A and B are shown apart, each in its own frame.
Chain A
Amino acid sequence: MRNLLSAVSGGLFGLGLLISGMTDTAKVQGWLDLFGDWDPTLAFVLGGAILPMLLAWRIAARRKVSVTGDAFPIMPQHVIDGRLLAGSALFGAGWALAGFCPGPALASITWGGLGGLTFLLAMIGGMIVSSLAGKRRLAAA
């Protein structure tokens, strides 16, 4: 059941990214180009995606457990630390330079050519580096 729900969710997520135009790096970069030929499409995508989730969080608050019987994820501690801010800044820079964030980079990998593959492999490399650095920090502490 968990695997089926995961697959349904992943498949819809990929189709949503494709339909919304977010696998087109020019549209994402057009959104970020505030001072150029600005493209507001991304605001419609984000707004459209938040609507079902507003409802889903309300349902989650009432039901306590998921369909599979698991407790819903607790709200993270309200700590805004340097790690969150620095990570978000690095992500924003890379997002602008390529026009890809992780979801669309994965969704379009079968037709994104060498450029898409280069970005995805570098992103996975960055995740591995980040993980190794985190383990060293833990070991040192």
Chain B
Amino acid sequence: MSLSSIPSDWLFGLAGGLVIGLSAAILLLGNARILGASGILGSVVEGSEPDAATERLWFLGALIGAPAVAVLIFGAPSTNVSGDLPLLALAGVLVGVGTRLANGCTSGHGVCGMSRFSTRSIASTLVYLAVGFAVMFAARHVLGVL
């Protein structure tokens, strides 16, 4: 099996994944912080832990700024985001409330928590994956809204 027979999306996925893991390792070993996108954004929005607000704003600024510069140079890929704004608003509220209740999302629980074998993170990841599969099935194949 040669490299060229592997779909390029999978290779980009793996390469991008390694960069994501590296970014989380830098935040952990550098600042002793868990890289959780919902936690970092959520605590800035809530104003909790004001001492850490500045470094979190640096993180969020770079998270938005670095890909913004990359798409200026290489062009922006489509996000293929739905045009159904009420559906997106509902989805956004569900993600906002859910990730704060669960104390984490794909990055915090999925990457950082699972890699330290946290049972809470593994449970969370199994639940959001299972519900994600079920909701996708219902929305696309039963209700036909996606």
Contact = CB atoms under 8 A, between A and B. Distances in A.
Interface of A: 2-27, 29, 32-36, 39-57, 59-60, 63, 65-68, 70-73, 75-80, 83-103, 105-116, 118-131, 134
B17 A101 contact: no
B103 A87 contact: yes
- Most chain A beta carbons < 10 A, residue from B34, B70, B79, B105: B79
Given A80-B123, A88-B102, A20 B88 contact: no
B25 A56 contact: yes
Contacts of A54: 115
A77 to B, nearest CB: 8
A91 B71 CA distance: 28
Given A12-B20, A101-B38, 7 more contacts: A2-B55, A24-B80, A32-B136, A34-B137, A45-B17, A54-B115, A97-B88
A98 B83 CA distance: 10
B62 A10 contact: yes
Contact of A103 (B34, B37, B80, B127): B37
A127 B100 contact: yes
A70 B118 contact: no
Main secondary structure of the interface of B (DSSP, over half): helix
A23 B112 CA distance: 19
Nearest to A70: B32
Contacts of A84: 101-103, 120, 123-124
B108 to A, nearest CB: 9
Contacts of A19: 12, 15-16, 19
Contacts of B112: 53
Contact of A97 (B62, B90, B125): B90
B93 A49 contact: no
